[in-house]
Amino acid sequence: MRRGFGLLIVSAIALSGCVGAPGPESVASTAAPSAPKALPIADVFERFDRAELELSPVAKSFRGIRDEDYASWGDYSDAGAVASQKLLQDTAEALRNQYNPDGLGAEDALSFRLFQAMAERSARTHKFRKNVYLFNQMRGAQSSLPAFLINIHRVFSAEDAIAYVSRIEGMGEVIDTLIAEARERADNGVMPPKWVYPYVISDIENLLSADDDNAVLYDFGAKVDALGLASDDSEGLKEDALNAWTLSAEPALQRLLAEMKRQEAIAPTDDGVWRLPEGAAYYEALLKNYTTTDLTADEIHAIGLSEVERIHGEMRSIMAKVGFEGSLQDFFQYTRTDDRFFYTTREEYLADANAVLRAMEARLPEYFGRLPKSPMVIKPVEAFREKSAGKAFYQSPAPDGSRPGTYYVNLYNLRDMSKNELEALAYHEGSPGHHLQRALQTEMGELPPFRRFGGVTAYTEGWGLYSEELPKEMGFYTDPYSDFGRLGMELWRACRLVVDTGIHEKRWSREKAIQYLTDNTPNPDGDIRKAIERYIVYPGQATAYTIGKLKIMEIRAKARAELGEDFDIRGFHDTVLASGPVPLSILEENVDDWIEEVASGG
């Protein structure tokens, strides 16, 4: 699977006086000199990144790196998680011991602060890692490993195909490692609610019952065919892949299926993480991690209720504009059930989404000084995981250009994908949302790797939600129902503050949370159920969107008020995006610096 963790010796990463770019072996074996001379801090970040990648062949593949680890998955055990955490914390400590941020240049000082903040957030949640559900409808090896092979493992040569086969074979060990860890957590009372298990079991059974339509083997065959190899070589590789699946992956999936059925029989029915070991402290740590603030669950809940009331008022204005008579809840029911608001084919949905993004792309230079070079494609979520996957998500491009940015849209049930929301969803996941921000971030080769490829949820998702409202100012959402869909998605994120804290702090049931969304949003029933189920297994994350967006709107209003006619929306956006993801307090500092620079004529 993986070689050992000898390169965790932090002195080799942060304190070595060597110059140049040694390979992993020389990094691991380099001892700290008795009176070390500090490296340039950029070199420390590069060495940390190199060491971190050595612990994660999967992360290498996401970067487009194909080396001797291309055939491996890495260490999925708890020991692997501990080793990765040790690398991070030891490097952060070494940085504190070796560098005074006051003596660094502005960008290096910012990187120092961001690395320390990242280490602090990670340490806060790492202590609760055993409370994470390893298998649920949102994530787990039953869906993530096949999705990785299909979407990330590129095959440009026969050697890449052989590495793919090795990864199919390696699925067995990964799955067995995770089964053992999930069993241990279950023995300690850490299991998702009972209703989660049918989703996981369905994903596993989809892979096991595929036979001639196995998604992984089909993908492998298509990639091998594209190489144009001799027939015997091509068929030999396909036979190797089938054997690897039959002898390793499939038996492990059968064992996983048995374990999930065992746990289903004893799983709890309560939904919130309050029931887990140190559940209250766990949830508090998650809120701090995702929002990068000190807001309490009660404060976040109150913000959500206030935002819901405000957005309901704006929705009533649109209801009056279109001449609808009845209550807001009557209007919700109309927009979630009338056939006019839904597509009948996937092809229609994809065509309209592409058209919306093309129109936006033409207008972006008016609002942004920097735009990404990486292209973006829209893809439906693969059939084997579409039943359990979320409604939409984005995957960043590979830094080497070998993979475009990808906007995945879940078209499993078109009645869950309202026409009214198409515009806002496309702007959020595409441009000016995740694709613009994350592709630019990936292309910032001057930044340390941890900033190019890392993330801060409140920043990234706050930007995504901000990017839904910005097009309104740009003249989009000309159809009032589409504007209502935009408000519906903003309302959706505001309601998340209420239901996420309701479930995990106030001990709401899944059914009570579903009813809250049914009463207060226009979303269809399937969408509502999936959302609440997501928040239950992914606690805290959903609160980051509105908290982040409110901060971006707050600092933009401040900049506009202080600069008056000197306020430039392109300059504001470029300032927000220039640093890559940062905690909200640092984002505000960056904008304050920009305000001061503009005001002084700089």
At 135-187, the pLDDT tens digits run: 999 889 999 999 999 999 999 999 999 999 999 999 999 999 999 999 999 99
Across the beta sheet with 392-395, the strand order is: 376-380, 405-409, 392-395
Contact 161, 155 (CB under 8 A): yes
At 521-549, the pLDDT tens digits run: 999 888 899 999 999 999 999 999 999 99
* pLDDT of the residue at 384: 78
Q: CA angle 540-336-543, nearest 5°?
A: 10
Average pLDDT over residues 451-476: 97
pLDDT: which is higher, 318 or 212: 318
- What is residue 294's three-state secondary structure? coil
Q: What percent of the chain has pLDDT over 70?
A: 93
* pLDDT of the residue at 103: 93
* pLDDT of the residue at 211: 64
| Least confident piece of the model among 12-26, 252-266, 308-322 | 12-26
Angle between helices 525-537 and 480-504 (to 10 degrees): 40
pTM score, two decimals?
0.88
* pLDDT of the residue at 29: 34
Average pLDDT over the chain, rounded to an integer: 92
Contact 547, 293 (CB under 8 A): yes
pLDDT exceeds cutoff 70 at 3: no
Contact 507, 349 (CB under 8 A): no
At 489-522, the pLDDT tens digits run: 999 999 999 999 999 999 999 999 999 999 999 9
pLDDT exceeds cutoff 80 at 303: yes
At 68-93, the pLDDT tens digits run: 999 999 999 999 999 999 999 999 99
Q: Alpha-carbon distance 295 to 307, whole Å? A: 16
Contacts of 309 (CB under 8 A, 6+ apart): none
* pLDDT of the residue at 593: 96
* pLDDT of the residue at 418: 93
Res. 212 pLDDT band, cuts 50 70 90: low
Contact 416, 391 (CB under 8 A): yes
Average pLDDT over residues 274-300: 98
At 559-590, the pLDDT tens digits run: 999 999 999 999 999 999 999 999 999 999 99
